[in-house]
Amino acid sequence: MFLQRRNRILRKGSAIRSLVAETTLTPNDFIVPLFIDEGINVKTEIASMPGYYRNSLDITVKEVRELRGMGLKSVLIFVKSKDELKDNTGKEAWNPDGLMQKSIKAIKNAVPEIVVMTDVALDPYSSYGHDGIVKDGEIVNDETVEALVKMSISHAMAGADIVAPSDMMDGRIGAIRKGLEENNFTRVGIMSYSAKYASCFYGPFRDALDSAPGFGDKKTYQMDYSNRIEAIKETLMDVEEGADIVMVKPALAYLDIIREVKNAVNIPVSAYNISGEYAMIKAAAKMGWLNEDKAILETLTAIKRAGADLIATYFAKDAVRLLSA
């Protein structure tokens, strides 16, 4: 058989395959989400996220040193707030001595080079488990935005490098940018969860922080998964309002959105390989139905190939280990 072109030539061995690989992962791609708990020497495995833990701050600081030693450059922090600190204003969120603020200081103090990103949303502090303030059964926008601005400023004051609003209220990026400017935090960035969908795949995360909504769902603020064009609208508005990095979330069922967003903006795009995506691989691997290591690398490569410049993932350490093997 005569063939003018034989595409398999470039696939014939692993060396040539690496030479022509279009997408390669590096430790610089990853953001490591961390769950922080009150107490000392507390390490709790999250039932629906086997192998992932909620740690007290002392253990977290050691963990961050280890991450840095592995070549990882950034962490995204979430705290579990005590029930007695939760209310409908979310005011614990901007307590200068709150667990989040203490954590930012301790981490920056111990590992100054690590880029500290912080989750900005009221759900861990809300007695209703919603990302905003509730009035007459509704999540009110403008008052929530005021709270998010206070929260962001308190994170900046504690030393956060980047605040990451994950709440999907309207106008919050512009308001946070203005708040940071007015308070002279001109070196603090904003990573906006700009296209965040109302997803069932957040389930395990809500177990981790005990932050499931007490009534209803999050569909009046997070996006409808039927929509694609809306993701571009949301993202372009956030860029306009001052986001430094935009994010698509979840990642795996939304690779098309990651690509569209990547093509639409000229700032870095991140994607969040979320808790449910982690849980699916862990569960299938435990059953012996998937090779976990291969599934991790294939998944993360696909998210990067789709257009993500940065990937928040619970698999960051595994990926670095696998990449250096």
Contacting residues toward ligand PBG, per CB under 6 A: 119, 121, 123, 131, 166-167, 202, 205-206, 218, 274-275
Token duo for residue 117: 């990103």
Nearer to ligand PBG, 56 or 118 (CB): 118
Identified catalytic residue from 86, 249, 304, 317: 249
Q: Least distance (Å) from ligand PBG to the CB of residue 214?
A: 12
| Helix ranges, the chain (H) | 14-20, 57-69, 99-110, 141-158, 172-182, 203-209, 229-241, 255-264, 275-286, 292-306, 316-324
Nearer to ligand PBG, 65 or 213 (CB): 213
Q: Which long-range contacts (CB under 8 A, 24 or more apart) does 48-54 make?
A: 48/203, 48/204, 48/207, 48/208, 48/275, 48/279, 49/204, 49/205, 49/207, 49/208, 49/275, 49/278, 49/279, 49/282, 49/314, 50/282, 50/286, 51/282, 52/208, 52/278, 52/314, 54/80, 54/208, 54/209
Identified catalytic residue from 196, 218, 304, 317: 196
Q: Least distance (Å) from ligand PBG to the CB of residue 202?
A: 4
Q: Least distance (Å) from ligand PBG to the CB of residue 19?
A: 35
Nearer to ligand PBG, 61 or 148 (CB): 148
Q: Least distance (Å) from ligand PBG to the CB of residue 253?
A: 12
Nearer to ligand PBG, 185 or 202 (CB): 202
Residue 135 annotated to the active site: no
Residue 249 annotated to the active site: yes
Catalytic amino acids?
196, 249
